[in-house]
Amino acid sequence: MFALADCNNFYASCERVFAPQLEGKPIVILSNNDGCVIARSNEAKALGVPMGTPFFKIKDMIQHHKIHVFSSNYRLYGDLSNRVMMILADMAPEQEVYSIDECFFDMRHMKNASQRLDLAQNMIDRVKQWTGLPLSIGIGPTKTLAKLANFLVKNKRSPRPSLCDWQALENPLIVMENIPVEEVWGVGCRAGPHLRRLGIGTVRELCEADPKRIRRAFSVVMERVVMELQGISCLPLEIIQPARQQIMVSRSFGVRISKKDALISALTAFCTRASEKLREKHLYAQALCVFVSANRFAEKNKAFSKSVVVPLDEATQDTRKIIHHALQTLNTLYIDGVQYQKAGVLLMDLYDKPLQRFDLFNSPSSGCTRSTTLMKTIDQLNHTFGAHTVYFASERLNSQWRSRRSHTSPSYTTSWEELLRIYAR
């Protein structure tokens, strides 16, 4: 048995924890650069704000319905997510953190359904009391069915308000009959229409399909989805996070930029952050990819995108080396006159130990330890005295590219300056 715990409308709920006057009011959260709607409160969903819409297309609607708008505040959401995950980890032995607002648990050890329901209810109550965040829990014999149980909770089709045990449903086939196939975990926007063309439109129809036929028409992934719906567990709990395979940092720019120094500045910032992530995870990169693009929504002949992969002769986690290679690459990518909209850096071929190829005739240089010490010192300074206490100078050449964030809430839980203030009269 698996349980899936999921925070309701996570980003919107995080904002509400520190702005309780917004309880019951419609809220939307925007992506970086205030581009698209990426989270909505129930009230905003009810008003018909679609997920993923560009903000500029719904500005009138926002004003008309007095919808509250927030730029995304990942420091706040990340911190609250950690708190929720820690609370839950304390209550159940085996936890897989699946995303910023979701985690799976192993519930095999729970003898009966009432024990499972009690534990789940305790989790919901404790998270609400300790963090102020609302949680839903779905329980099922496979991860996919636990997800589906969670869907029932979110859509108020569960017998209980915040949790649902698939095993306790009186007639699961009838329930499946009334859920469109697109709601299944693993069926995306491409497979949905394809399944419908094959005469499979509901979860029940997918559950009753022949797995081998589905495998031929799709792939082993969809075959597993069918089996999971049938109650055959194919996706185990992943308690130990598998090692990262790549680390990416990229941003859309606040305005279109055409000057090379703005791109240099942006890439320096991206490389700095990517290298920090590398060191946080104790990894070394053996290759990197640099990419730049112009407006991707332009007509085909105007849309422009270019990327270059650079293999490194030595795996590294040294920000200087990564910046050096990225900026060298920029010389071959940059075209005068292009209006750039986005750029990024991707670190690839990650290893948990440096792959060192020493010179056959010389002893290992001391460069390695010097580099480690320098990076550690920089990280410590920035950790102790705040981000950007020390940085690489080329980051400040031109800050034209910085993203728009016009509706940001304070970092209530991660910055002394931005703590919530309460006044007494």
Task: Give the span between the Cα atoms of 82 and 90, in whole angstroms.
Answer: 12
Instruction: Tell me: does residue 66 bind DNA (CB under 7 A).
Output: no
Query: What residue ranges in 231-339 does DSSP mark as E strands?
Result: 247-257, 284-294, 305-316
Smallest distance, DNA to C-beta of residue 313, A = 15
Instruction: Please name the residue ranges forming H helices in 92-190.
Output: 113-131, 143-154, 172-177
Considering only the stretches 188-196, 202-210, 319-327, 361-369, report the one whose residues sit in contact with DNA under the rule CB under 7 A.
188-196
Which 3-state string (H, E, C) describes 200-258? CCEHHHHHCCCHHHHHHHCCHHHHHHHHHHCCCCCCCCCCCCCCCCCEEEEEEEEEEEC
Contact between residue 179 and residue 203 where contact means Cβ atoms under 8 Å apart: yes
Please count the residues of the chain: 425
Sites for DNA among residues 193-252 (CB under 7 A): 219-221, 242, 244-252
Task: Give the span between the Cα atoms of 353 and 116, in whole angstroms.
Answer: 42
Q: In the complex with DNA, which residue's Cβ is closer, 72 or 110?
A: 72
Instruction: Tell me: does residue 189 bind DNA (CB under 7 A).
Output: yes
Sites for DNA among residues 132-151 (CB under 7 A): 147
Sites for DNA among residues 317-356 (CB under 7 A): 341-342, 344
Residue 399 CB coordination number (10 Å): 12
Q: Binding residue for DNA (CB under 7 A) from 8, 31, 398, 409?
A: 31
Smallest distance, DNA to C-beta of residue 107, A = 19
Q: In the complex with DNA, which residue's Cβ is closer, 25 or 45?
A: 45
Instruction: Tell me: does residue 293 bind DNA (CB under 7 A).
Output: no
Q: How many residues bind DNA (CB under 7 A)?
A: 47
Instruction: Tell me: does residue 256 bind DNA (CB under 7 A).
Output: yes
Smallest distance, DNA to C-beta of residue 252, A = 4
Contact between residue 301 and residue 289 where contact means Cβ atoms under 8 Å apart: no
Q: In the complex with DNA, which residue's Cβ is closer, 64 or 370?
A: 64
Closest CA to 23 of 41, 39, 36, 47: 41
Sites for DNA among residues 365-424 (CB under 7 A): 403
Q: Binding residue for DNA (CB under 7 A) from 20, 24, 93, 188?
A: 188
Positions that interact with DNA (CB under 7 A): 31-33, 35-36, 38, 52, 54-56, 98-102, 147, 184-192, 219-221, 242, 244-252, 256, 277, 295, 297, 309, 341-342, 344, 403
